[in-house]
Amino acid sequence: MTTTTLFAGEDGFSSMAPRAPLPVLPPLALYIHIPWCVRKCPYCDFNSHAASPVLPEEEYVDALLADLDIDLPAAYGRPLSSIFFGGGTPSLFSAKALGRLLEGVEQRIPFAPDIEITLEANPGTFEQEKFSAYRKLGINRLSIGIQSFQASKLQALGRIHNGDEAIRAADMARQAGFDNFNMDLMHGLPDQSLEEALDDLRQAIALKPTHLSWYQLTLEPNTVFWNQPPVLPEDDTLWDIQEAGQALLAEHGYAQYEVSAYAQPGKSARHNLNYWSFGDFIGIGAGAHGKLSHPDGRIVRTWKTRLPKDYLNPAKPYQAGEKLLPLDELPFEFLMNALRLTDGVDAQLYPQRTGLTLESLDEGRRLAEQKGLLQVEPSRLVATPQGQLFLNDLLQYFLI
Ligand SMILES: C[S@@+](CC[C@H](N)C(=O)[O-])C[C@H]1O[C@@H](n2cnc3c(N)ncnc32)[C@H](O)[C@@H]1O
Ligand code: SF4
């Protein structure tokens, strides 16, 4: 589609084409996957598995550190700007196990002085003492999976906690010293009315989290909900919920900065921002994904062995696969992340992160601007509100 200059002296995309070295490597983050939950929620397609009464914590921490050792050369001396314990339910792990893990990580890669360390927590797993101990380990941000405060909705979602426990979780988090915490809420729940969805948001806002992730429930293949779909609200109701919810959040000082992410000033999730701005991240743990850039311009995606029993099997490798991103996929890869951000990104980030020239986007930009999907702003790459809504259509202009 395009013949614009990519690098000096090169005029076509080919996975075999020489790559321009990256002028600077992106910031480096670490994602750690903990693949167990008390039980599996019927809507969830994350790599999470119902836990047996005793978790193989020690064995898993050993495996995570050995897994990290393999990815270490790709750190190229960069400090970690953030760590994210995701799941699954990382709050099932003891502070002792997480402490040994964090210590092992820091022995291998230095932490940036202002590192953000987030842990995903389920309200059904909160104990004051454990959360105080997490805080003492240096974990400085929690992401609490609330989903809804309404008993009937929590039951329909197969959650292990009730609304009161969700409220108590916020109190406990604060008492444990977490002044920075996110709450995950979902909307468009089975039979949910506009008022019910707004009521969930109001209750969350009253607990004053610094960050709210507000997802519309989607039916995902290979889940119980996919096979036995519940009755979801009509499209008109979903639209009303979205509009009224966004207005309510804005009114209370939560600025939307990504499709589903809202934050108080200065409280955007650094880990996620790095991900959306095509930063690097090492992914360790069952099924974890990573993205790593090399100074010679190669950008590689990695994924780890998915099933916990296989990941823990010494006869199997930690890494299940990797893909060197071909040059012709880089525009799409970069933009599919960056254009999720409400304010987009500085256009100069594109050559910095991909090694390609900004001009290689010219034709796609022109066409997407004509369609009203991309803002006409030479120094930034930003979707219009229409473009955010129809991101897949917008990205088509950057497929080579
Ligand atoms: C990996 S889960 C981790 C949170 C934690 N395990 C919990 O559920 O309490 C991350 C979040 O993704 C959201 N999520 C999971 N499945 C979803 C779906 N099918 N549709 C929309 N959001 C979903 C939920 O809000 C959930 O809290
Ligand atoms: S607790 Fe969270 S990760 Fe686990 S099954 Fe439920 S939504 Fe998925």
| pLDDT, tens digit, 9 for 90 and up, residues 119-157 | 999 999 888 999 999 999 999 999 999 999 999 999 999
The domain in which residue 245 lies consists of 28-273
**Of 228, 243, 273, which residue constitutes the final position of a domain?**
273
CB-based contacts of 87, cutoff 8 Å, min separation 6? 33, 34, 35, 36, 37, 46, 48, 120
**Of 273, 308, 337, which residue constitutes the final position of a domain?**
273
DSSP character at residue 143:
E
Residue 370 lies in a domain: yes
Q: Is the same domain home to 163 and 100? A: yes
Domain CATH for 389: 1.10.10.920
What pLDDT shows up at residue 16? 52
Determine the atom of ligand 1 nearest the C-alpha atom of 144: 9
Residues in the chain where the model's pLDDT stays below 50: 1-15
User: How many angstroms separate the CA atoms of 125 and 299, rounded?
Assistant: 38
Q: Is the same domain home to 136 and 233? A: yes
Site to substitute for ligand 2 among 33, 34, 48, most atoms within 8 A of C-beta: 48
**Of 273, 294, 316, which residue constitutes the final position of a domain?**
273
Q: Is the same domain home to 349 and 267? A: no
Among protein residues, the one whose CA lies closest to atom 27 of ligand 1: 145
Q: Is the same domain home to 109 and 245? A: yes
Residue 138 lies in a domain: yes
Site to substitute for ligand 2 among 34, 40, 185, most atoms within 8 A of C-beta: 40
Residue 319 lies in a domain: no
What pLDDT shows up at residue 145? 96
User: How many angstroms separate the CA atoms of 184 and 44, rounded?
Assistant: 13
What pLDDT shows up at residue 17? 61
Residue 12 lies in a domain: no
Site to substitute for ligand 2 among 89, 147, 219, 220, most atoms within 8 A of C-beta: 89
Q: How many domains does the chain have?
A: 2
CB-based contacts of 245, cutoff 8 Å, min separation 6? 187, 197, 198, 201, 214
> What is the number of the ligand closest to the CA of 217?
1
Among protein residues, the one whose CA lies closest to atom 16 of ligand 1: 44
Q: How many CA atoms lie within 13 A of 89 on its CB side?
A: 24
Q: Is 41 exposed, middle or buried (0-12, 13-18, 19+ CB in 10 A)?
A: buried
Q: Is the same domain home to 234 and 115? A: yes
Domain CATH for 129: 3.20.20.70
Residue 6 lies in a domain: no
Cis peptide before 285 (omega within 30 of 0): no
Residue 22 lies in a domain: no
> What is the number of the ligand closest to the CA of 51?
2
Residue 349 lies in a domain: yes
pLDDT tens for each residue of 48-94 = 999 998 999 999 999 999 999 999 999 999 999 999 999 999 999 99
Q: Is the same domain home to 228 and 351? A: no
Among protein residues, the one whose CA lies closest to atom 3 of ligand 2: 88
Q: Which amino acids bring their CB within 6 angstroms of ligand 1?
A: 43-44, 46, 86-87, 89, 120, 122, 145, 147, 184, 186, 215, 217-218, 220
Residue 320 lies in a domain: no
Q: Is the same domain home to 332 and 236? A: no
